Amino acid sequence: MKASSFILMLTSAFLLSSCVSNKKFTSLQTKYTQLQGDLSSCNDAKTELARQKASVESDKAGLETRISDLNKQIEFLKENNTTVLKQLQDLSVLSSSQAESIKKSLENIGAKDIYIQNLQTAMSRKDSLNLVLVMNLKGAIGDLNDKDINIKIDKGVVYIDISDKLLFKTGRYEVTPKAQEVLGKVATVLKGHPEIEFMVEGHTDTVPYQSGVLLDNWDLSVKRATSVVRILQNQYGMDPAKMAAAGRGEYNPLLDNSTAENRAINRRTRIIILPQLDQFFKLLEPKQ
C-alpha cells in the first residue's frame, strides 16, 4: 500500500508540472503570434510609406525636368534677343522707345526665371511637409485596420479616408464612440499644423436612402460630413474657420456599385488637406 501511494503521488506531481509547462508554452506561443502580427502591420505601413515617397519623388523629378527645359528656353531667348537688339541698334532701325520696350521684355524674362526658382522651392517644401503629415497621422492612429482608415498622398494632396462601417451605423449620421476616438487622434495631429485647412466630404453608395427626415443620399452625405466637423470643433477644439463640410452623395464612387464589397468601399468619409494656394499667389505678386 505504501509503495502504491508513493507512485501515485509521483505521477500526480509529474502531471501537474506538465500542465503548468503547457500553459506557459501556450501563453508564449500566443504572444509570439501577436508579435508576428504587429511586425507584419509595421512592414505593411513601411512599404506604403516607401511607395508614397517614391511617388512624390517621381512627381518632383518631373517638375525639375520641366523647370530645366524652361530655363534652357529662357537662356536661348536671352541670347537671341540680346543679339537682335544690338544688331538693330547698330543699324539705327529701332527708335529709342522700341529699344526700351525690348529691354523691358528681357527684364521680364529674368523675372520669370526667378518665379520658376521660387515655385520649385515652394513645391519641394510642400512635398516634404505632406510626407511628415502622413507619417504623423499613421503614427497617431496606430495599427487600425487599413480597411477602416486609409491615409495617402495622391498628386500632391493628402487624403484621409474613413470607412462608413467605422464612423456610422447603417442609414445614420451619428458618429460612433469608437470613431470619435479616431477623430480625436486625427485632430491632435492637425492641430499641430495650425496653418492647414481641410474639407470633410461625405460619400454614399447607390442604395436609396428611405428612412428618417432626410430626402436622399445627398442629404445623408452632407449630414455625415457636418457631424464629423462638429465633433472636431466641439470636442477637439479645431478651428471652424479652417474646416469645410461637403456631401458628394453617390456621385463620386471609388468603384462601381455592382457588389456589396464595392458599395462598402464607396460608403466613406474623406478628409482632404486643402492646398494652400495663397502661398503660390504671393509668388505672382510684383516685388516692391
Q: DSSP string spanning 47-84?
A: HHHHHHHHHHHHHHHHHHHHHHHHHHHHHHHHHHHHHH
Q: How many helices (H) and strands (E) does the chain have?
A: 7, 5
| pLDDT at res. 144 | 59
Residues 6 or more apart from 45 whose CB is under 8 A from it?
Answer: 138
Rg, Å, the chain Cα set: 31
Residues 152, 160: Cα–Cα separation, whole Å: 7
Strands 157-163 and 149-154, bridge-based pairing: antiparallel
Neighbours of 145 (CB within 10 A): 11
Q: Quote the cell numbers at residue 201.
A: 466630404
Question: Between 3.30.1330.60, 3.90.1150.10, 3.40.50.800, 1.10.150.120, what CATH number should domain 145-288 receive?
Answer: 3.30.1330.60
Residues 271, 280: Cα–Cα separation, whole Å: 22
**Helix %, strand %, coil % of the chain (to 5):** 65, 10, 25
Q: pTM higher than 0.85, yes or no?
A: no
Residues 6 or more apart from 115 whose CB is under 8 A from it?
Answer: 283, 284
pLDDT in tens, the chain (288 residues): 555 565 556 555 554 555 557 777 788 788 878 878 777 878 877 888 888 888 778 878 877 887 888 888 888 777 777 776 666 555 555 566 666 676 676 666 666 666 566 666 556 666 777 788 888 888 888 765 567 888 888 888 899 999 988 999 888 899 999 899 999 999 999 998 888 899 999 999 999 987 778 899 999 999 999 999 999 999 999 999 999 999 999 999 999 999 999 999 999 999 999 877 665 555 455 555
Residues 179, 164: Cα–Cα separation, whole Å: 10
Residues 6 or more apart from 270 whose CB is under 8 A from it?
Answer: 159, 160, 161, 162, 200, 201, 203
Residue 237, amino acid: G
| pLDDT at res. 283 | 47
For residues 134 and 161, is the Cβ–Cβ distance under 8 A? no
Neighbours of 228 (CB within 10 A): 26
